[in-house]
Amino acid sequence: MALEGDVKEFGLADVIQLVASSQKTGVLFVDRAEEQVSISFKDGEITGAICRKGGKQDQFHEYLFRAKKLDQDTVRKVLQIQSDTGLSVDEILIKEYLMTREEVEIAITTKIQEVIDDVFTWRDAHYRFDSDAGLYAHSRARVAVSAEPLLMEAMRRKDEWPMITRTIPTDETVLEKAGDKPLPGEVEPDAFKLFQLIEGRHKVAELVEMSGLGRFRTYSAAHVLVQLGALKKVEAPRPASRVQKEAAKYPEFKLGAEIIYGAGAALVLAAAMALALWQAPRAGPGGMNAVQGYRRAAAMEEVRQRLEIYKYRNGFFPNSLGLVAKPVETAGMEYRRGEDSLDYSLEAVK
């Protein structure tokens, strides 16, 4: 089966659906820069997925350690047995009663979902299907997962990703607790787990490793906690301006340079405010102008999206907007949850 191209031209979801519906056996390779993802199929069902970064493959025992399924001593024991016997990691885990077969199969399935979630965020990549390739040839634990539920979950997460990355832009984003106040009672389990792990300041990349939740779930939990006001982003110090750098070279002129710089910034800000006021439509008596009305509508739409996501994850709408947004974000909004918790009303109030 000749199948090769770029994800920009033919989406990855369409490629996986095509392989699954054709009931093909082989490996789908997806490459970008120094990363490669390999997804194996047998008769159209997904049987495994691995990720390589910088030429290094993510090993199953490393994944189990990150996911808090194995501790460091157990990993050493498993690798020693593997070195002595040549058995696969999953077979050792089952034979040594370190994990049940069901637990191993669940871990493999979860790892497959995480790999697919990650590759679905790639915007520029090349794919190639090889019907002669295979993965985990010596594995004792065999899984065969229908592509459809994995794809549906990956697409749902892909839809949420832009909203999440507006709050948590990169792995380098630094987070810390916003204070000593406790979490709300209805916070989701992933967010609760992540909150308990945080001591001091952490980059999101560190939290991904610490939590064992995988990249998407860690980002999602961090997003929820920031929106609740439980975590806050630590802003990196801004680089000094050219004027400030030059002033630092000549201390005797530093005060004068800062006065000039500050006065210039104030003039620019005043001019921008005057222009905005001149361009904005005048409000009617006691009413909002067009700009304010647009901002209110956009804010309410954002809150509605968060409410729908909350219901999707928990099966019901929250009892207050505080579980999905900060008070400053919901000012001027009146929220009522229905008696069965399955509907709600959200209205603007003056």
Q: What is the pLDDT of residues 317-330, one digit of tens each?
A: 888 888 888 887 88
Count Cβ atoms within 10 A of the Cβ of residue 154 and give its class: 0-12 exposed, 13-18 middle, 19 or more buried. buried
Residues forming a β-bridge with 177: 231
Token readout for 211 is 């939590």
Q: How confident is the model at residue 285 (pLDDT cuts 50, 70, 90)?
A: very low
Please report how the helices 101-119 and 215-228 are oriented relative to each other, as an axis angle in degrees rounded to 10: 70
* Other Cβ atoms closer than 10 A to 143: 19
Got the DSSP string for 166-209? HHS-STT-EEEE--SPPPPTT--HHHHHHHHH--S-EEHHHHHH
Q: What is the pLDDT of residues 136-194, one digit of tens each?
A: 766 766 788 888 888 888 888 888 888 999 999 998 999 999 887 778 777 888 899 89
Which residue, among 298, 343, 302, 297, has the nearest Cα to 325 in the 3D structure?
302
Q: How confident is the model at residue 293 (pLDDT cuts 50, 70, 90)?
A: low
* Other Cβ atoms closer than 10 A to 231: 26
Percent of the chain surpassing pLDDT 90 = 28
Give how far the C-alpha of residue 199 lies from the chain's centroid of Cα atoms, to the nearest Å. 21
Length of the chain measured in residues: 350
For residues 256-266, give the mean pLDDT: 43
Q: How confident is the model at residue 122 (pLDDT cuts 50, 70, 90)?
A: confident
Q: Is residue 313 pLDDT above 90, yes or no?
A: no
Instruction: Specify whether the CB–CB gap between 231 and 225 falls below 8 A.
Output: yes
